[in-house]
Amino acid sequence: MRRFIKTAFLLAMVCLILWGGVKLLKVGYRFFQEMIYPVKYEDIVGKEASEYNLDPAMVYAVIRAESSFRPSAVSSKGAHGLMQITEPTFDWLQTKMENAESLTVEDLDRPEINIRYGCKLLSILFGQYSSTETALCAYNAGMGRVGEWLSDPAYSSDGETLHTIPFPETERYVENVMENYRVYHDLYQFELNGGVMNVEKK
């Protein structure tokens, strides 16, 4: 009987240790995910996402894919800042803004400017294209190039969506952003109220 009690006690202890280990692993994994999928610039993202009727999770997904949250990032193609906007695109976007300030490409290093214009661009693209993936293709490759793809039966069967993305870089980019978007929604609950964003962990 004593041997049975001792064995049962040891089994219970092993189960408890294993359960604690699993819980610790889950907590550690969650902490790791929150580190690599951070929520930063909440005031700016909340304001601009509300202004342009965007899901904050998508804004964060794009920022993570574009710059990994480095505000002074500059790509080999001359794209600047958190949402990686090129100078020609920035100049064009300024013509689309009401009461636009007189800004230069150096201003794209400022998070409030970069996120404002990046969100403006996303809102234009989501209004232009019928699918999120096609809009993201345009963010990465440009509207002109996506227009060519949509008019080619090799890439689009309906002229509105792409069944094939001919640029591997753009294909990977879209996959990356959509995966970021999924993870941000898994980790956080975003609520917008009058330009103020509330973020809660799920």
| 1: number of Cβ within 10 Å | 5
In 14-134, which ranges are E strands? Answer: none
DSSP letters for 137-198: HHHHH-HHHHHHHHT-TTT-SSSSS-S--S-HHHHHHHHHHHHHHHHHHHHEEEEEETTEEE
The 10 Å CB-count burial string (b at 16+, else e) for 150-180 is beeeebbeeeeebeebeeeebbebbebbbeb
Residue 112 annotated as catalytic: no
| 104: number of Cβ within 10 Å | 9
Which residue is catalytic, options 48, 66, 133, 179? 66
**Active site residues per annotation:** 66
